[in-house]
Amino acid sequence: MNTAATSMPRPPTPGYFASHWRSLDYFNLYRLTLAVALVFSSLLFGGSDLFRAGASERFQGFAYAYLVIAALFVLGIRARWPSFQIQLTAHITADIVLVMLMMSTSERLAGGMGLLLVISIASGGLVGSGRLTLLYAAMASIAVLLQHAFSVLGSDRGLDGFFQIGLLCAGYFAIGLLAHALTQRALRSETLAQQQADELALLNRINALAIENSPDGLLAVRGDGVVRHASPRALTLLGVAQRVKPGATRLEDCCPELARLAQRIRPGASPILSTSAAQLRVRCIPLATPDDSRVLVLEDLSQAEQEAQRVKLAALGRLTANIAHEIRNPLSAISHAAQLLREDTPDPAQARLAGIIENNAQRLDRLVEEVLTLNRRDRLNPAHFDAAALGTLIDELRQTEEIPAGAVIVSMPDTLHFQFDPDHLRQIVWNLLRNAWRYSRKQAGSIRIAARETGDGIQLDIEDDGPGLAPEHQGKLFEPFFTTDAQGTGLGLFLARELAEANRATLAYVPGAGGARFRLALRGSE
C-alpha cells in the first residue's frame, strides 16, 4: 500500500504546508510496514520461548491492533481531519501505548522494542516542525519507566535495570531536542522558499500583465528561429491569424519577412518592417542564453506618430490658451475702436480701412474662441437627442448662417436616439454646415444632411454639391491650421474631430462623393 500517493485534492490546513501532510503520510507508511513486520514475527515465532508463557497470543493481538490503527490513520490523513497536530499526537500516542503493551509480553524484546520509540519521537519532531517534541519524549519516558516498574514488581528482577532505562529515556530527550533544532531550521528554510515562490509567482503575473497590455509587440525567438513566446499584440501587428505554439512554431512559418529581417538585424539597429496590419519599427534585444535567444520588439509607427502628435497638440493647446487670454482684452478694444471710427468718419476710404480692421479683429476673435473651445473638449455634459431635437438644432444653425430653408435637405428616421454633449454637437454641426454652404453652389438642395441607424450606432452625413476636395489635400484635412480659405483659421475641422473623439465618436471625410461629404459616426443610446 502506497499511502504517499494521492488521487484527489486535499483541503489546506492553516499553519502547515502540503509537505507536512506528505511527511505524515510517509511516517504512517513506516508504521504500516512495522505493523506488518510485527504481525509476521508473531506468526513466525509464536511457539518459541521468546515470549512469556501464554503471552504470544497477546503479542499477536497487539500487533494486529497496531496494523488496524495504522490503516485507520490513512483515512484521517486523506481527509485531513482532524487537524494536523491532533493526528500527529494520536499517532505518537498509539506508538507509545502499543509498543509498551508489546514490551510487556517479552522481557527479551523489551529493550529492542523501546528503541522503536526513538524513531517515533524523531519522526514526530521532524514531521510536526518541532512542536510538542519534548512532550512526546516525556510521554515515552514515563511509559517505559512504568512498564519496567510493573515488570520489576511482577518478577524477581533487580533494580539495576532502571539505569539502562534511564539512559534510554535520556536518549529520548536528546533525540527530541535534536529533532526540534533540525525542524526549526528546516521550517525557516521552507517558509523562506515559500515566500520566494509566492514573490516569483507574483512577479510572473506582473510580467504577464505587462506583456499582454504593452502597446508594443514582443516576440521571444531562439537562435534556430523557433518562437518561444509571442504576445497577442505582436501577432496582431504582424497580421498572423494562425495559432502560434511556443517552442514548436518557427518564425519563418508565421512571418517570413520578419524571419529574414531577424537574421540580419543587429543590436541597436531599428529597421522598418511593413506588414498587412501596420508599419513597424523592429528592435532586437539579446538575452545572452546558450541557445542564442533574443527578444524582438515591434513598435507600431502609427501609434508613435499619434502619441507625438498628441504631445505636440497638448503643448500647443496650453500655449495658445495662454496667448488667447492675453489677446482677448486688447482685441475687444481694437474692435470697439474700429466700430467707433467707422461710425464717426465721413471719409469712405477711412471707413473702408476701419471695416478691414473690424473684420480682422472678428477673425482673431473666432480664432481665440476656437482655441478656448479646444481646451474645454473634455468637459462633457451628455444629453439625450432624438430626431426632433437634432432637426431643431440644424434649423437654428441654418438660420444663424442665413442659409435659405430650401438649400438644406434633412432626412432622418423618427426612431433616432443618441447621447452627445449639446455644446460639442452644436460646434461640430455648425463647422460642417458653414463649410458646406461656403463651398456649395448655393442653390436649392445644395446641402444634404442624412442620418441613419447602423448596427452599433448612428451615422450623420453632411454633403454639399460643391467641387469637393482635391486628393492632395485630403490627408491634411484635419491637421490644425490647415485651410484652403484665406479667411479661415484652419482650426474648424480639427476642433470638430477633437470634440467628436471626446464624445467617443469619429469624424471622417468620405471620398468619392460629388462634393465634399463628412460623416460623424456616433453611438446610439444605451
Per-residue pLDDT reduced to its tens digit, 110-131 = 878 888 999 999 888 888 767 7
Of 157-161, 354-358, 398-402, 446-450, give the lowest mean pLDDT range: 157-161
CB 449 within 8 Å of CB 460: yes
Residue 197: exposed, middle, or buried by beta-carbon count in 10 A (0-12, 13-18, 19+)? exposed
d(CA 33, CA 31): 5
Count how many Cα atoms sit within 13 Å of the Cα of residue 225 in the half-sphere of its side chain: 15
Q: Which three cell numbers stand for residue 136?
A: 512526546
pTM metric for this prediction: 0.42
Whether the per-residue pLDDT at 7 is higher than 60: the answer is no
The number of distinct structural domains making up the chain is 4
Whether the per-residue pLDDT at 8 is higher than 60: the answer is no
Listed residues 301, 319, 343: the one ending a domain: 301
Vertex 456: Cα angle to 450 and 457 (nearest 5): 35
Whether the per-residue pLDDT at 511 is higher than 80: the answer is yes
Whether residue 6 is contained in a domain is answered as no
Within a 10 A sphere around the Cβ of 311, how many other Cβ atoms? 10
d(CA 251, CA 265): 15
Residue 33 banded pLDDT, cuts 50, 70, 90: very high
**Do residues 310 and 291 share a domain?**
no
Strand partners, 103: none
* pLDDT number for residue 141: 92
Question: Helices marked H in 45-160 — which ranges?
Answer: 56-79, 84-103, 107-127, 133-153
Q: Which three cell numbers stand for residue 251?
A: 518564425
**Do residues 334 and 294 share a domain?**
no
Residue 340 banded pLDDT, cuts 50, 70, 90: confident
**Do residues 341 and 467 share a domain?**
no
d(CA 411, CA 407): 13
Residue 5 banded pLDDT, cuts 50, 70, 90: very low
Residue 9 banded pLDDT, cuts 50, 70, 90: very low
Mean pLDDT of the chain: 82
Residue owning grid cell 541597436: 268
**Do residues 295 and 337 share a domain?**
no
Strand partners, 299: 281
Query: Which amino acid, residue 457?
Result: G
d(CA 353, CA 348): 9
Residue 373 banded pLDDT, cuts 50, 70, 90: low
For residue 226, give the DSSP letter.
B
Q: Residue 217: give its domain's CATH number.
A: 3.30.450.20
More confidently predicted of 428 and 242: 428
Whether the per-residue pLDDT at 155 is higher than 80: the answer is no
**Do residues 42 and 101 share a domain?**
yes
- Residue ranges making up the domain that contains 34: 18-197
Q: Rounded to whole angstroms, what are the CA distances from 154 to 148, 242, 299? A: 10, 86, 92
Q: Residue 310: give its domain's CATH number.
A: 1.10.287
Whether residue 516 is contained in a domain is answered as yes
Whether the per-residue pLDDT at 10 is higher than 60: the answer is no
- Give the orientation angle of helix 18-44 with respect to helix 84-103, to 10 degrees: 20
Of 84-88, 118-122, 511-515, give the lowest mean pLDDT range: 511-515
Q: Residue 435: give its domain's CATH number.
A: 3.30.565.10
Q: Which three cell numbers stand for residue 332?
A: 475687444
Whether residue 452 is contained in a domain is answered as yes
Question: Helices marked H in 414-483 — which ranges?
Answer: 422-439, 471-474
* pLDDT number for residue 184: 82
* Cis-peptide, bond into residue 330, ω within 30° of zero: no
d(CA 319, CA 333): 23
**Do residues 332 and 253 share a domain?**
no
Q: What is the mean pLDDT of residues 340-355?
A: 75
Q: Which three cell numbers stand for residue 343?
A: 461710425
Q: Which three cell numbers stand for residue 418?
A: 443618441
Whether the per-residue pLDDT at 355 is higher than 80: the answer is no
Within a 10 A sphere around the Cβ of 117, how many other Cβ atoms? 28
Handedness of CA 11, 14, 16, 20 (dihedral sign): negative
* pLDDT number for residue 70: 94
Which residues lie below 8 Å from residue 313, measured CB to CB, with a gap of 6+?
480
**Do residues 479 and 395 share a domain?**
yes
More confidently predicted of 246 and 309: 246
* pLDDT number for residue 374: 61
Residue 313 banded pLDDT, cuts 50, 70, 90: low
Listed residues 375, 404, 432: the one ending a domain: 375
Within a 10 A sphere around the Cβ of 154, how many other Cβ atoms? 10
**Do residues 84 and 182 share a domain?**
yes
CB 103 within 8 Å of CB 95: no
Whether the per-residue pLDDT at 66 is higher than 90: the answer is yes
Which residues lie below 8 Å from residue 227, measured CB to CB, with a gap of 6+?
219, 220, 221, 244, 246, 247, 249, 250, 251, 254
Q: Which three cell numbers stand for residue 471?
A: 486628393
Whether residue 8 is contained in a domain is answered as no
Closest CA to 341 of 321, 322, 324, 361: 361
Whether the per-residue pLDDT at 156 is higher than 70: the answer is no
